[in-house]
C-alpha cells in the first residue's frame, strides 16, 4: 500500500469530498491563496476556485459564525482554525451557538460544520500555540469531537466528519503532520464513534489519544521486549466515545494506562478513567494510571518542552511504578 | 442618509395590515408582561419589544415568506411580523411542546421557525451578526434570490462579533441587511456611556457599506427604506446597514422597571408611540376611524387570549425526548 503524510491524507479527504458535493466550502485564515499555514488546503483554490475556498480575515468569531450561517443556509462548510488556542476566541460560536442550535430549536435546525484545528505541542510554539484541551468541547453536548493519530484514520474520519449532519471539531496534532502512513488509493471512510485497537495484547491496556498514540506504541514495543504484552487502543473519536471497545480490553487485562496531552485535572483521561471505574471496576487489578501533561502552561524552551511532554519513557515509568513490573 | 416623514401614499401595502401587525405585537407583549408580573404564570428572562413595533413590522412587511430573518433574544416582535403562528409563539413562552421550539428555547429563542423564514434567535449579544453573514454567503453561493435580515440592538455594536461580522460581510459583499434597533439602552446603560463613535451609523459606514438612518417609530419610513434595501439584497448585492432610532417603552427585561431613565426622556418618547402615530395618521387620512380601531384591537386581543388558552392547554415535551434532539440522527 502506498504511504502518504498526515497532511496529504487530510488534503485528499477534503478534495474527494469537495468533488463529490458542491455544497462543501472551505474557509479560514490563509487557506486559499497561501494554501494553508500547514499546507493542508494547498491547491484547493486552484482546483475549486475562490467561491469555494475562502480566505478570511483573522477573525475567528466570524469564521465560525459564517460557517454556522452557511450551514443553516444549506452549505457544508469546513472551517479551519489555525491553532486550537485560537478556537477559544470563537468559543461562544462553537460551544454556545452551534452546539446548542439543534437542541434549543426543538430539532428544527441542522448544522453540518467541520471545524478543523491543530495543536502544536512539540514544536516550540510556547504557551499560547500549543494547548490541547478537548475536555472544553466534549463537555458541550451537541458537538462531536474527533482526534485522529494516523494518516489512515485522519482521511477516513475527516471524510465521515464532512458527511456528518452535526458540528464536528476535528483536532489534529501539528507534530503528526509530516508523519507517514499507509493510506489506500481506494475510497473508504471510518465511522465516528469507533475506537481502533492499534496493537493486540493481553497483559495491559494502554489507551492513547492523538499524538500520544505513537508514544504508546513505542512503549508497548519496549514492554514486548520484556515479555509484557500491551494492548494499545486509540479512541479516535472522543464524542461519541467507543467505551465498549475499551471496556472489553480492560476486562481482559485488568490493568489500564491512559495517555493524552491535556493537563490532568478534568482532562479527557479523567473521563475515560471514570467510565472504566463505573463499568468495569471489578475487573481492575489496581489503580488506573494516567499519563498527562503537568499542570503548567507549555514552556517555550525546546529542552523544557521536551521534559514537559509525554514520551514512551514516561509511559514505561508510570507502568513500572504502578504495576510493579521490572523493566 | 436619514429617512423620516415618508407620506402615507408612498405605501404599496395595505396600511391597515401594518397597523394590525403592530397591534398584534403590542397586545402579545402586554399579555406577556401581565403573565409575568401580575399572574406570575411565566418565569425566566423575557425582553419585551414594546415601543419598537414599527421596526419589525416595517422591515418584515417588505420581506417574502422564504426570506431569512435572524435576530436576538428580543425576538417576539420579529417572529410575529414575519408571520409565525401566534399560538405556537405563545406556547414557546410557556415551554410547551406545541411551541415553535417544542418549549426548549423559550422567550429568547422563540423566533426560530425556519418554515416562516425565521432562521435563528440567539441569547448572546451580537453573535447573530457573523452568522447572518454566513446565511447571506449561502444565498450568494447558491445564487438564491433570498434576502437575509439581521436584527440586533445598540448594545451589539460594541461586541467583537459585530466588528468581525460587519467586516466580513462587507469584504465579501454579502447580501445581508443589518438592522440595528437603537433603543438608546444596552441593558441598563445609556448609549452615551457605551459607544465611542459619534453614532452607530457612523461606525457602520466605516465598514464601507451603504448606511441609512431611519425614524424607527414611523412604520412608513421603515417600510419604505426596507423595501428598497431588500430589493437590492435579494438581487444579491449588499451588505446594507439601517440604524433605526427608537425607544424601549419598558426595561431591558420584563422585571426591569427602568428607573435609571430620566422621566422626561421617557415621557417624550411615549408621546412618539409608533402605534399612536400611525393610527392618528390613518384617522387623519380617513382610512380608519376610532370604532374601526377598537374593533381591530378587540380582534387582536381575542387572538392573543386564544393563544394563551392554547399554550395553557398544551403539554410539556416528554423528558426522554430530549436526548434525541441533541444530535441529528439519520
Domains detected in chain B? 2-311 (3.40.50.970)
Q: Which of A52, A116, A129, A236 is catalytic?
A: A129
Instruction: List CB contacts (< 8 A) between A93 and chain B.
Output: 127, 130-131, 161
Same domain, A82 and A109: yes
- pLDDT confidence of residue B61: 98
A80 and A217 together in one domain = no
**3-state class of B240 per DSSP?**
strand
H helix or E strand, kind and range, residue B294:
helix B290-313
Question: Are A257 and A297 in a shared domain?
Answer: yes
Given this model, what pLDDT does residue A327 score? Answer: 75
Residues A231 and A176 in one domain: no
> One digit per residue, pLDDT tens: chain B, 330 residues?
888 888 888 899 999 999 999 999 999 999 999 999 999 999 999 999 999 999 999 999 999 999 999 999 999 999 999 999 999 999 999 999 999 999 999 999 999 999 999 999 999 999 999 999 999 999 999 999 999 999 999 999 999 999 999 999 999 999 999 999 999 999 999 999 999 999 999 999 999 999 999 999 999 999 999 999 999 999 988 899 999 999 999 999 999 999 999 999 999 999 999 999 999 999 999 999 999 999 999 999 999 999 999 999 999 999 999 999 999 998
Instruction: Using CA coordinates, name the residue in chain B closest to A106.
Output: B101
Q: Does A21 contact chain B (CB < 8 Å)?
A: no
In terms of domains, do A171 and A238 share one?
no
Residue A200 lies in a domain: yes
Tell me the shortest Cα–Cα distance from B111 to chain A, in angstroms.
9
* Domain co-membership, A96 together with A39: yes
For A92, which of B124, B133, B330 is closest by C-beta distance?
B124
Asked if residue A216 and residue A176 are part of one domain, the reply reads no
Closest by Cβ to A97, choosing from B122, B141, B324? B122
CA-based nearest residue to A89, from B164, B207, B122, B129: B164
- Verify that A302 and A172 share a domain, yes or no: no
- B137: chain A residues, CB-CB within 8 Å: 66, 69-70, 73, 75
Mutation target among A29, A52, A65, A193 for the B interface, most CBs of B within 10 A = A65
> In chain A, which residues have their Cβ closer than 8 Å to the Cβ of B327?
102, 142, 144, 166
Q: Which residues of A touch B171 (CB under 8 A)?
A: 57
- Please state, in angstroms and rounded to a whole number, the distance separating the CA atoms of residues B1 and B150: 20
pLDDT score, position B6: 86
Q: How far is B272 from chain A (nearest CA, A)?
A: 35
Question: Min CA distance, A55 vs chain B (Å)?
Answer: 10
What pLDDT score does B5 carry? 87
Task: For chain A, positions 91-150, list CB contacts with chain B under 8 A.
Answer: 92-93, 96-97, 101-110, 141-142, 144
Check if the beta carbon of residue A206 is closer than 8 Å to that of residue A232: yes
Residues A195, A239: contact at Cβ < 8 Å?
no
Are residues A124 and A273 located together in one domain of the fold? no
Which of A60, A105, A142 shows the shortest C-beta gap to B109? A105
Name the domain count of chain A. 2
B242 to chain A, minimum CA–CA distance in Å?
20
Chain A interface mutation, best of B101, B109, B138, highest count of A Cβ atoms under 10 Å: B138
| Partner-chain contact A104 B127, CB within 8 Å | no
DSSP labels, A85-133: HHHGGGHIIIIIIIHHHHHHTTT------EEEEEE-TTSS--TTS----
Is residue A308 one of the residues assigned to a domain? yes
Q: What confidence score (pLDDT) does residue A46 get?
A: 98
pTM score, two decimals? 0.97
Is A252 an interface residue toward B (CB < 8 Å)? Answer: no
Confirm whether A34 is domain-assigned.
yes
Whole-number pLDDT of residue B1:
80
Q: Are residues A85 and A224 in the same domain?
A: no
pLDDT of residue B99: 98
Element (H, E) at B312: helix B290-313
Q: Are A3 and A182 in contact (CB under 8 A)?
A: yes
Q: What is the pLDDT of residue B10?
A: 87
Reported ipTM exceeds the 0.90 cut:
yes
How high is the pLDDT of residue B236? Answer: 87
In the annotation, is A125 catalytic? Answer: no
Verify whether the Cβ–Cβ distance B328 to A110 is below 8 Å.
Answer: yes
What's the CATH number where A50 sits? 3.40.50.970
Shortest distance between the Cα of A146 and any Cα of chain B, in A, equals 15
Phi and psi of A164, rounded to 5°? -65, 155
Alpha helices in A42-95, H assignment, sequence order: 44-48, 60-72, 84-87, 91
Query: Beta partners for A144?
Result: A168
List b or e across A108-141, with b for residues whose CB sees 16 or more CB atoms inside 10 angstroms: bbebbbbbbbbbbbbebbeeebbbbbbbbbbebe
Q: Do B165 and A165 touch (CB under 8 A)?
A: no
Last residue of a domain, one of A182, A210, A242: A182
With respect to residue A302, please indicate whether it lies within any of the assigned structural domains.
Answer: yes
Query: From edge to edge, which strands make up the β-sheet containing B68-71?
Result: B2-3, B210-215, B240-245, B176-182, B148-153, B68-71, B118-121
Chain A residue numbers touching B135 (CB-CB < 8 A): 69-70, 72-73
CATH of the domain at A248: 3.40.50.920
In this structure, the number of other CB atoms found within 10 A of the CB of residue B14 comes to 11
Q: How far apart, in whole angstroms, are the C-alpha atoms of residue B154 and residue B55? A: 14
Which of A132, A151, A182 finishes a domain? Answer: A182
Does residue A113 sit in the same domain as residue A76?
yes
Cα gap B29→B5, rounded to integer Å = 27
- Cβ <8 Å between A104 and B122: no
- Put simply, the answer to whether A66 touches B137 (Cβ < 8 Å) is yes
- Which residues in chain A come in under a pLDDT of 70? none
Enter the C-alpha cell of residue B310: 392554547
Contact flag A106-B102 (C-beta cutoff 8 Å): yes
Rounded-to-integer distance, Cα B330 and Cα B322, Å: 16
CA–CA gap between residue B162 and residue B204 (Å, rounded): 10
- At A63 the three-state DSSP class reads helix
Nearest to A239 by CA among A97, A92, A63, A99: A99
Q: CA nearest B160 in A: which residue?
A: A61
A-chain CB neighbours of B114 within 8 Å are 108-109
Question: A273: domain range?
Answer: 196-323
CA-based nearest distance B295→chain A, Å: 35
Is residue A190, in this structure, part of any structural domain at all? no
A175 and A201 together in one domain: no
Q: Which of A182, A204, A221 is at the close of a domain?
A: A182
Amino acid at each position: 500500500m502506498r504511504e502518504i503524510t498526515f497532511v496529504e491524507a487530510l488534503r485528499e479527504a477534503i478534495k474527494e469530498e469537495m468533488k463529490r458535493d458542491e455544497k462543501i466550502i472551505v474557509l479560514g485564515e490563509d487557506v486559499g491563496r497561501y494554501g494553508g499555514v500547514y499546507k493542508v488546503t494547498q491547491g484547493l483554490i486552484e482546483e475549486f476556485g475562490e467561491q469555494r475556498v475562502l480566505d478570511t480575515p483573522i477573525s475567528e468569531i466570524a469564521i465560525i459564525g459564517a460557517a454556522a450561517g452557511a450551514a443553516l443556509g444549506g452549505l457544508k462548510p469546513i472551517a479551519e482554525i489555525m491553532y486550537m488556542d485560537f478556537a477559544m476566541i470563537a468559543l461562544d460560536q462553537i460551544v454556545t451557538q452551534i452546539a446548542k442550535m439543534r437542541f434549543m430549536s426543538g430539532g428544527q435546525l441542522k448544522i453540518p460544520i467541520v471545524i478543523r484545528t491543530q495543536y502544536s505541542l512539540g514544536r516550540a510554539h510556547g504557551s499560547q500555540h500549543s494547548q490541547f484541551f478537548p475536555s472544553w468541547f466534549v463537555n458541550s453536548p451537541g458537538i462531536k469531537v474527533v482526534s485522529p493519530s494516523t494518516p489512515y484514520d485522519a482521511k477516513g474520519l475527516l471524510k465521515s466528519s464532512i458527511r456528518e449532519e452535526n458540528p464536528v471539531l476535528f483536532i489534529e496534532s501539528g507534530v503528526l503532520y509530516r508523519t507517514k502512513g499507509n493510506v489506500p488509493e481506494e475510497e473508504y471512510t471510518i465511522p465516528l464513534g469507533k475506537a481502533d485497537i492499534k496493537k493486540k495484547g493481553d497483559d495491559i491496556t494502554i489507551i492513547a489519544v492523538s499524538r500520544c498514540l505513537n508514544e504508546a506504541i513505542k512503549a508497548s514495543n519496549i514492554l514486548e521486549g520484556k515479555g509484557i504484552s500491551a494492548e494499545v487502543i486509540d479512541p479516535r473519536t472522543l464524542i461519541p466515545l467507543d467505551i465498549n471497545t475499551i471496556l472489553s480490553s480492560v476486562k481482559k487485562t485488568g490493568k489500564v494506562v491512559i495517555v493524552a496531552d491535556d493537563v490532568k485535572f478534568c482532562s479527557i483521561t479523567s473521563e475515560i478513567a471514570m467510565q472504566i471505574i463505573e463499568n468495569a471496576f471489578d475487573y481492575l487489578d489496581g489503580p488506573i494510571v494516567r499519563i498527562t501533561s503537568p499542570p503548567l502552561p507549555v514552556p517555550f524552551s525546546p529542552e523544557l518542552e521536551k521534559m514537559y511532554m509525554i514520551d514512551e519513557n514516561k509511559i514505561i515509568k508510570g507502568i513500572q511504578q504502578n504495576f510493579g513490573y521490572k523493566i | 442618509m436619514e429617512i423620516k416623514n415618508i407620506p402615507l401614499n408612498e405605501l404599496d401595502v395595505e396600511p391597515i395590515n401594518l397597523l394590525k401587525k403592530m397591534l398584534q405585537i403590542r397586545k402579545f407583549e402586554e399579555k406577556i408582561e401581565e403573565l409575568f408580573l401580575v399572574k406570575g404564570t411565566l418565569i425566566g428572562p423575557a425582553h419585551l419589544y414594546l415601543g419598537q413595533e414599527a421596526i419589525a413590522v416595517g422591515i418584515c412587511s417588505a420581506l417574502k415568506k422564504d426570506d431569512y430573518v435572524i435576530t436576538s433574544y428580543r425576538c417576539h416582535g420579529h417572529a410575529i411580523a414575519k408571520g409565525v403562528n401566534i399560538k405556537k409563539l405563545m406556547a414557546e413562552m410557556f415551554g410547551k411542546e406545541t411551541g415553535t421550539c417544542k418549549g426548549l428555547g423559550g422567550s429568547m429563542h422563540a423566533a426560530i421557525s425556519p418554515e416562516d423564514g425565521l432562521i435563528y434567535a440567539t441569547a448572546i449579544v451580537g453573535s447573530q451578526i457573523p452568522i447572518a453573514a454566513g446565511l447571506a454567503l449561502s444565498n450568494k453561493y447558491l445564487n438564491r434570490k433570498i434576502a437575509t435580515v439581521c436584527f440586533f440592538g445598540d448594545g451589539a455594536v460594541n461586541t467583537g462579533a459585530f466588528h468581525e461580522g460587519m467586516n466580513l460581510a462587507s469584504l465579501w459583499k454579502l447580501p445581508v441587511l443589518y438592522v440595528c434597533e437603537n433603543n438608546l439602552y444596552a441593558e441598563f446603560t445609556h448609549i452615551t456611556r457605551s459607544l465611542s463613535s459619534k453614532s452607530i451609523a457612523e461606525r457602520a459606514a466605516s465598514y464601507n457599506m451603504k448606511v441609512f438612518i431611519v425614524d424607527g417609530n414611523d412604520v412608513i419610513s421603515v417600510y419604505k427604506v426596507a423595501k428598497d434595501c431588500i430589493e437590492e439584497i435579494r438581487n444579491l448585492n449588499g451588505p446594507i446597514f439601517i440604524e433605526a432610532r427608537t425607544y424601549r417603552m419598558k426595561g431591558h427585561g420584563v422585571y426591569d422597571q427602568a428607573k435609571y431613565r430620566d422621566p422626561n426622556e421617557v415621557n417624550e418618547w411615549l408621546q412618539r408611540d409608533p402605534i399612536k402615530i400611525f393610527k392618528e395618521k390613518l384617522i387623519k387620512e380617513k382610512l380608519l376611524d376610532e370604532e374601526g380601531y377598537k374593533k381591530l384591537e378587540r380582534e387582536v386581543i381575542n387572538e392573543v387570549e386564544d393563544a394563551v388558552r392554547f399554550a395553557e392547554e398544551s403539554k410539556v415535551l416528554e423528558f426522554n425526548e430530549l436526548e434525541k434532539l441533541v444530535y441529528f440522527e439519520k
